[in-house]
Structure formats: C-alpha cells, structure tokens
Structure 1
C-alpha cells in the first residue's frame, strides 16, 4: 500500500518523538535522567528531545509521585495529580504552600502561600490535619526514606456535618542505589470517603512496588495490589487513628506476601522458566537435585580414571 513505510524509510519527527516519550515514561523508578541522556544521544536532535521531554517528564513525575524539597527548606512537596493546581504548580497541604516545579530538571524552583480557594474549609481541615499527623508518624516509623501527604479530593468547601467528602492519603518512598545497580520505589494511594448520612468511612487502597536490578543483567519487578475496607465515621482524631491502622495492616500484609513470593521464586517462577523437557527428553529431578553430579557425568563421558 502507498501509505506503508518500507523497512529502510526514515521515521518522521513525530514518530521519533513518540518513541522517545515511551522510553522516558517507562523508565524504572529513579532512572529517568539516565534514560534521558541515552535518548538524547540516540536522537541527536535537541528540538525533538525537548518536545518529548516536556510531555514525558510531568507524566513520569506524577505517576512515580516523586518528592522534591521546597526552596526555603520548610518541607517537601509530592508531585501528584491530587495536589496539581496547573501543569507545574503543586499544593503541599501540610505547609499550605504552592510549589512551582521544573519537571525536566526535577527541582522545585519557587514557592508561594496557597490561596484560600486552594485550601479546604476549616471543618475539612480538622479531618485532614489529624489524619496527616497520624500517617506521618506511621510513615516515619515504617519507611526509612518515605514521605506522605493528605489531600482533600472532594468536598473541600463543606463547612460542617451533613455532607459527604473525600480525602486521599499518598505515601511515596524511594531507595535509589545506582552504584550498587539497584533502584526501588513504593507508592500507595488511599482514598477515604466520609459518608455522613451512613456514618461510615470507605477506605480504598492501591499499593505499587517497583524494583530494578541491573548488575550483569536486567530484572524488574512491578507489583500492584488493591484493597477495600469500611469502618465507622468518628471524630477527626479517632477517624485518623482508625484509618492509619487500616493502612498499616494492609500494607504490612502486602509486604509480607511479597516476601513469601521471593522465597518461593526458585520453586515456582524460576522453575517455569526452564524447559519442561531438557534436550535429554528426561524430566529434571527437582525433588532430588543431589542425584545429578556434573563432575561424575563428565568423568564417565571422558573415561577418566578407567
């Protein structure tokens, strides 16, 4: 067909840009800057690279929920869709400030006080503040390099009882050690619906773990888990304690399940990677590997010792 490209045809600039974006967006946790250098070297076209980077970096930063230090060192801001005010401005609810982000450089360039319309009502802030304090204690005790934030997702203008509202807890932790050929990240998002009429809370969680090992190889883990639980609508302090306990329990159970999976890798995943029948057409005796002796077989084949 006339519109089909031949194998030797040159890619268009738009095609190159989309391929570059794909590699940037799918970079492992903490490695987009390394991928960016390689993409730039392969493209050899600054205009195409910068066009791709301007679209890919914001998406990557939000999906990985990266944490950046505020310029005045008053705290950190998590780059997430829940705190996004516009394409490069993000709310930090804890300090009631709005940070301006340079997505490509992954730095916070300036900060300003949040406007009243960007913050929740005093009634909602009571619940948000209490939950933020409890979750922060939990994260500090659980994740060595973890950060968290609590946002009002719906109903921030609610002035008192009688209406539903929703808050979101975001937890992000990264451990990057490229000198040891490994990087990893933890991301969890907890949506909490406060249902006033039913006097109940609905907690929905999504946890995601990513890890990349690349010493003499390339092994990646990308695991996700979702859960849901309900509890009673209580005072701000009691609700905060209950919600944090729910988060702690589910995250602990998920981490424990991952550890069990690691222990079972040799007997499950790695075994499945092997041939069902080797070249000898004989099943490998996984139940008694000691009966296989490479040295004995070689000696027999070569006639050594006869």
Structure 2
C-alpha cells in the first residue's frame, strides 16, 4: 500500500511541494525518486518537481557547465521560462531542472561599458581567491542596471561536498551585492552553510550570517583587491566561529544536555554485538 492512497489531489500536491522545498543540497533528485516510490504517482511528482527544481537550484547556486565553462544558477541570471544568461561567456541557455540538461544556447552581444569593465575586474580577482582557498569552488559576478546611471553588481561564491555514499552532504555559499556609487559603496554579504548527515541519525545544520562594509569605489582594480581582502577576512571569521561552536557543542551538549547521555568514551553502544554474545 502506497502512502498516496487515501489522499486528495490537493493534499498530494501540498505534500510534494513541501518536501521538495525541504530537499537538502545535492539530494533533490533522490527526494523526487523517493516521492515517486511513496506516492505511486510519477506524473504528479515530476510535474511539481519541474517547478520546485527551479527554486532549489537557484537557492543552492547550482553550478552547471555551459559550453565548457561553469555558471551558477541564481535569480540574478534568470531570464524567465527556464532560460538563463551566462555573464562571463555571454550565452543564454535553457535548463531543464528535473533532468538537468542544457539546451538552446545562444550567443549575445554585450556592450563593453563601464559596468561590464567593473564586473570583469571583480570576477578576475574573486576567481583567483576562490581557486586558492576552496577545494571545490565556483564563483560568478553579475550586473544589473538600476537606472540610467547606476549599476548593481552581485558576486556569488559556491562550494559543496556531496558525499551520498558516505551519508553526508554540505553546501557553502555567499553572495555580495553593492551599487556602483562615487567614492564609496556599501557592500552587503550573506553567508549560508548547510550540512546534512544521515547515517544512524538525521542531522541538519544551517548557519546564516550577514555582514556589511563600506569600500572605496574609485578605481576598479583597487576596489577588486579591497573587495577580495574583505571577503577573505569575513570567510575566516565565520569559519573560525563555526569551529569554536563545534568545539563548544562537543564539550557541553554531547556530554551534558542529551536526553540519553553518551558514555565517557563518547561512542555508541554496539547492541547487536552484545546480543549476539
């Protein structure tokens, strides 16, 4: 008997959407497969997954390979109708969020104006930084016009470790936004760390943080250097804070606050071995 039996169509849709939106990074397709098996309604699950997949991929900054180069799927390059724009190579493309296939690539002409020169300089500096400090990394810089004389730039960083055979997945992402304004500009950064461990337990960890700083915006190359220094400093701060919190968790929570305390060795009891003996 499937879980879907006895549920109204609207209840199935609500259940599917809720579970798909809760999919941990790197596990969306597995959740789709599990829902198909549980509800025994592949057509309905895939119909809703096509819509939820767009939200999941943009929210996770999913990297995709377009004609040999990687671009991050984000809201900043969404052209609508499953179409996206690759700012570095000036391609638009269509992306199927369910089967993750790229199609209908088209080359676009982009004016080499002042905003594009700033975007290129920023991408070059940020790319050099992430290549040195992240084991599996991707970054993109996007621009958006706010009017005739103002430009919004957004820099996105994504790093992940998807280890399904080892029962854990993790995602690190950050996005940095600022408008090109004379003399100084206000940079806002948002960090997100997600971790899912699912062997013996189902453990979800989410860390959020936002930061702000004012940087001089006179020379684009100098701004790129200052911006990368700022990002590096904030990356170090949040990683140090996470490690300190993990240490505190290990020393206090696991030892004192668990409903069922672990033994002094901090290891789980092998009950099967004891029963067999």
> What TM-score, normalized to structure 1?
0.79
In 1, Cα distance between equivalents of 2:98 and 2:257: 39
**C-alpha displacement of 1:107:** 2.8
Judged with a 3 Å threshold, the aligned counterparts in structure 2 of structure 1 residues 59 and 225 are, in CA distance, closer, same or farther, namely: same
In the TM superposition, what whole-angstrom CA distance separates every residue of 1:93-137 from its partner, at most 9, and x where no partner exists? 1111112101111232342112x4xx4651101100000000000
In 2, Cα distance between equivalents of 1:89 and 1:15: 30
- The residue number in structure 1 matching 2:94 is 100
- The residue number in structure 2 matching 1:226 is 210
- The residue number in structure 1 matching 2:271 is none
Aligned pairs for 1:207-226 within 5 A:
207-226=191-210
Residue 183 of structure 1: SS of its match in structure 2?
strand
Residue 153 of structure 1: SS of its match in structure 2?
strand
The answer to whether the Cα contact below 8 Å between 1:185 and 1:211 also exists between their aligned partners in 2 is: yes
The answer to whether the Cα contact below 8 Å between 1:120 and 1:152 also exists between their aligned partners in 2 is: no
Residue 88 of structure 2: SS of its match in structure 1?
coil
Q: Identify the match of residue 55 of structure 1 among 15, 27, 51.
A: 51
- The residue number in structure 2 matching 1:304 is none
- The residue number in structure 1 matching 2:116 is 125
- The residue number in structure 2 matching 1:21 is 17
Judged with a 3 Å threshold, the aligned counterparts in structure 2 of structure 1 residues 195 and 268 are, in CA distance, closer, same or farther, namely: farther
- The residue number in structure 1 matching 2:170 is 184
**C-alpha displacement of 1:46:** 2.4
- The residue number in structure 2 matching 1:165 is 151
- The residue number in structure 2 matching 1:43 is 39
The answer to whether the Cα contact below 8 Å between 2:49 and 2:98 also exists between their aligned partners in 1 is: yes
Structure 2: gaps of 5 or more residues: 266-277
The answer to whether the Cα contact below 8 Å between 1:29 and 1:210 also exists between their aligned partners in 2 is: yes
In 2, Cα distance between equivalents of 1:148 and 1:257: 23
- The residue number in structure 2 matching 1:84 is 78
In 2, Cα distance between equivalents of 1:113 and 1:144: 31
Judged with a 3 Å threshold, the aligned counterparts in structure 2 of structure 1 residues 143 and 270 are, in CA distance, closer, same or farther, namely: same
**C-alpha displacement of 1:49:** 1.0
In the TM superposition, what whole-angstrom CA distance separates every residue of 1:71-107 from its partner, at most 9, and x where no partner exists? x32x012110001111311111111111210111123
**C-alpha displacement of 1:272:** 6.0
Q: Identify the match of residue 64 of structure 1 among 48, 60, 65.
A: 60
Q: Identify the match of residue 253 of structure 1 among 226, 237, 242.
A: 237
In 1, Cα distance between equivalents of 2:246 and 2:111: 43
- The residue number in structure 2 matching 1:298 is none
**C-alpha displacement of 1:271:** 4.8
The answer to whether the Cα contact below 8 Å between 1:85 and 1:91 also exists between their aligned partners in 2 is: yes
In 2, Cα distance between equivalents of 1:120 and 1:272: 62
How many aligned residue pairs are there? 260
RMSD of the TM alignment (CA)? 2.2
Residue 218 of structure 2: SS of its match in structure 1?
coil
> What TM-score, normalized to structure 2?
0.87
